[in-house]
Structure 1
Amino acid sequence: MQRNINRFLWLLLPVLVATGCDAPEARFRMNMAYLHKNEKKAEAFTAEQKADVANILAALFGTPDQPHLPQGAGLEDVISIDRLKMAAGPVGVDEQGIATGLYRQHCSHCHGVSGDGNGPTAAYLNPYPRDYRMGIFKFKSTGKGTPPTHEDLLRILYEGVPGTAMPSFRLLPDIEREAIVDYVKYLAIRGQVERRLMEDIAIELGPGERLDQSGEYLVGEIVASAVAKWSAAEEEVTEVPARPDDWNESAAIARGRELFHGAVANCVKCHGETQLGDGQRTDYDEWSKDYEDFSKPMTDQEKQKLVDELVELGGLPPRNIFPRNLREGIYRGGRRPEELYRRITNGIDGTPMPAATMKPDDAPEQQQGLTAADVWCIVDYIRSLPYEPGGERATYGQEFKRERM
């Protein structure tokens, strides 16, 4: 590792990439909204400081057409360079007949070449496509603040996200889905490094001071700190306990209804007394709050000024995030019982959906929190809602009843 770091002097020079003349060169867009947010903390970044960020990122991660991985931070254990190159670049086929440019073919029109969630179709979609650069993902087996596992991202590609524009890619060969997952991780880690560099300029450096361009700092500290969480994701998977052997579904649904409306779980605060998602409807997700917390009290004029700033900097106008209508039976993170269990115990990263306060099964009843059995009761209750009178599937179920002769 040290040998690789000590050889990192080439970071002092901008990376030049030769391109053809048939098509414009694909470029990563700088995160101007986050840059401007950090400028507000200190002083405006100098042209040299902005150039340092761009040149360091190019040296560390390459370009959309020619990506590479910095050595010495353990990134090769998280991302396969061969699969990364398969997903990168323009759409085509290599000399062996293997598809290339998979990300640009299947993903960039929504998520953008930079992974900023602002591709050509993004503004027309609700919800907006995911911006990978924060390193935050909603639907995963790990808790808040921990990246998804490789399998989590593969599952999203295989199943899609119901109720959104994110389709299933199950018809792609396994190796192509694997390549896209590696490219998404690459964009996320690159984005996290970009954010950290901007933070360090704003917080650690004085006016006009330049970033440390040594390998010890850039690879050994900045990149390694981002990679460490991704490397540990497999160890942070939330285990899902089995239901008790004497489980009674009818009793569980009744108990789940009680917990749903009770003070401990307090699901009604957001999902509403009717479970239609008509509780709070004024909050925003973390992507919308990244530039400014639009949920804070402000006048319409103040809010519009901030929205105009964000759009001018390359962002999308913020939208309120609405809680799920649980009577529809559409669960974006998966409908399997264990997936719903994790949505409750882990919360949903990047959203107002919190992680449940848990307690041991043998804890005193007066102790605050939910037991694993309590969570299973809520899961069963949620899964029953579409079939209750007034639910989306209640009428459907009755249509097939016939009178006995």
Structure 2
Amino acid sequence: MKKILSLLALLLSALMLTGCEDMNFKEGIVVAGGKYVEAHTLNKGKQIYMEYCMACHGVKGDGKGVASKGLFPPPRNFTLGIIKFGDVASGDLPHDEAIYKFLKHGLNGTAMLPWDLQPGQMEAVWDYIKTFAPQAWIGEDKKLGEQILASNDPYGLARKSSAIERGREVYHAVANCQACHMAYATPDEYKAIAKKINNEDVTEIDPEMYKIKMQESEHGYKTMPPDFTWDRVRSANNVEDIYLRLAAGIGGTTMPSWKGTLEDNDIWAAAYYVQSLIDMRNTPARDALWVAIFGEQK
């Protein structure tokens, strides 16, 4: 309770310091995609930002708000103009609707909460946030990325088991996800998958494949890929969400866009497999998998 009260005190102090600032947008701007944003919308967005976002993301949008200390992952630094979860190819600028989704639902396992904002409020605050990175967002020459939409699910519940089995193969022997995440097949299972998919005779197992590897990022800090059976996946709540994340990648990180690299059916299969791993979280099945791989529970 003391921590909550302290945080509230910090938030109130910050709001008092910034609440009297002039709404200094006098003219509208053109942002990526050719959208014209009027000055009154930017001023409205600034007011909403100061109330809901500034405590964590900071007055300057640099992720250094008074409530940011000790948070992991750190609040997003909007001045970089890099969006992690945008439903466009990693590195491209997202369409507004993708951001509204995370404003509405938040990010699992983080301090980014769901916010009860009306559509006009979400549009205003997001348009204001774009002004923190004018080099990326502002100007008629700035383009939005091609929106990645979920294709028709080729599996569905009727073929869920087949999807998971194929996804297991894609994960370990096609996309080689264990290069950053970790392997979830036992050594013997991995050898069998490698033989079936790549006609590869694996004689030695690299123990590193069973470890999560810290990754460099463009966000100013290293990132830790999730253990799908243990950690909460921040931007996905179902198979379709996972498909979109695999297809689009994660901006500013080593997680690439798999759209166009993997067959679409295989992206869906991998999504089903990852969801099956997530479903093991806090279950005996997860403990059994861990014992099968390591001989002991985590």
Say yes or no: TM over 0.5: yes
Contact kept, 8 Å, 2:87 with 2:147, in 1: the verdict is yes
Return the offset for 1:154.
Answer: 0.9
Q: Distance in 2 between matches of 1:326 and 1:224?
A: 41
Question: Which one of 319, 332, 347 corresponds to residue 234 of structure 2?
Answer: 332
> Comparing 240-249 with 138-147, which one deviates more in the overlay?
240-249
Return the offset for 1:340.
Answer: 1.1
Provide, for residues 78-137 of structure 1, a one-character-per-residue CA deviation record: whole Å limited to 9, x for no partner.
Answer: 53433211122xxxxxxxxxxxx2111111111111111111122221111001112111
Residue in 2 that maps onto 1:353:
255
For residues 245 and 156 of structure 1, do their structure 2 counterparts lie closer, same or farther at Cα, with a shift above 3 Å needed?
closer
Question: Would you say 1:121 and 2:67 are equivalent positions?
Answer: yes
Return the offset for 1:335.
Answer: 1.7
Counterpart of 1:244 in structure 2: which amino acid?
P
Question: Which one of 166, 178, 181 corresponds to residue 268 of structure 1?
Answer: 178
Question: Which one of 116, 126, 134 corresponds to residue 181 of structure 1?
Answer: 126
Residue in 2 that maps onto 1:376:
268
Q: Distance in 1 between matches of 2:258 and 2:33?
A: 32
For residues 278 and 65 of structure 1, do their structure 2 counterparts lie closer, same or farther at Cα, with a shift above 3 Å needed?
farther
Counterpart of 2:149 in structure 1: which amino acid?
E
Question: Which one of 36, 39, 42 corresponds to residue 84 of structure 1?
Answer: 42
Contact kept, 8 Å, 2:248 with 2:258, in 1: the verdict is yes
Residue in 2 that maps onto 1:133:
79
For residues 75 and 147 of structure 1, do their structure 2 counterparts lie closer, same or farther at Cα, with a shift above 3 Å needed?
closer
SS at match of 1:271: coil
Question: In percent, how many aligned pairs have the same letter?
Answer: 29
Residue in 2 that maps onto 1:108:
54
Question: Would you say 1:342 and 2:244 are equivalent positions?
Answer: yes
Contact kept, 8 Å, 1:162 with 1:332, in 2: the verdict is yes
Contact kept, 8 Å, 1:80 with 1:182, in 2: the verdict is no
Residue in 1 that maps onto 2:91:
145
Question: Which one of 217, 223, 228 corresponds to residue 139 of structure 2?
Answer: 223
Question: Would you say 1:281 and 2:208 are equivalent positions?
Answer: no
Q: Distance in 2 between matches of 1:174 and 1:387?
A: 32
Counterpart of 1:182 in structure 2: which amino acid?
D
Contact kept, 8 Å, 1:329 with 1:392, in 2: the verdict is no
Structure 1 regions of 5+ residues with no counterpart?
1-22, 27-62, 89-100, 194-221, 289-317, 359-368, 397-405
Return the offset for 1:76.
Answer: 7.3
Return the offset for 1:330.
Answer: 2.5
Q: Distance in 2 between matches of 1:151 and 1:78?
A: 16
Q: Distance in 1 between matches of 2:210 and 2:41?
A: 44
Return the offset for 1:145.
Answer: 2.3
Counterpart of 1:140 in structure 2: which amino acid?
G
Q: How does 1:301-320 map to 2 (within 5 A)?
A: 318=221, 320=222
Residue in 1 that maps onto 2:160:
249
Contact kept, 8 Å, 1:79 with 1:186, in 2: the verdict is no
**CA RMSD of superposed structures (Å):** 3.1
Q: Distance in 1 between matches of 2:51 and 2:155?
A: 48
Residue in 1 that maps onto 2:113:
167
Q: Distance in 2 between matches of 1:351 and 1:73?
A: 24
Contact kept, 8 Å, 1:140 with 1:148, in 2: the verdict is yes
SS at match of 1:124: coil
Provide, for residues 49-68 of structure 1, a one-character-per-residue CA deviation record: whole Å limited to 9, x for no partner.
Answer: xxxxxxxxxxxxxx973124
Question: Which one of 170, 174, 183 corresponds to residue 259 of structure 1?
Answer: 170
Return the offset for 1:257.
Answer: 0.8
For normalisation by structure 1, the TM-score amounts to: 0.54
For normalisation by structure 2, the TM-score amounts to: 0.72
Q: How does 1:16-31 map to 2 (within 5 A)?
A: none
Residue in 2 that maps onto 1:385:
277
Counterpart of 1:184 in structure 2: which amino acid?
I
Return the offset for 1:325.
Answer: 1.8
Q: Distance in 1 between matches of 2:33 and 2:110?
A: 31
For residues 71 and 265 of structure 1, do their structure 2 counterparts lie closer, same or farther at Cα, with a shift above 3 Å needed?
closer
- Larger Rg, first or second structure (1 or 2): 1
Contact kept, 8 Å, 1:281 with 1:322, in 2: the verdict is yes
Contact kept, 8 Å, 2:62 with 2:77, in 1: the verdict is yes
Q: Distance in 1 between matches of 2:33 and 2:22?
A: 18
Provide, for residues 182-233 of structure 1, a one-character-per-residue CA deviation record: whole Å limited to 9, x for no partner.
Answer: 2112223x2548xxxxxxxxxxxxxxxxxxxxxxxxxxxx8333xx22xx34
SS at match of 2:125: helix
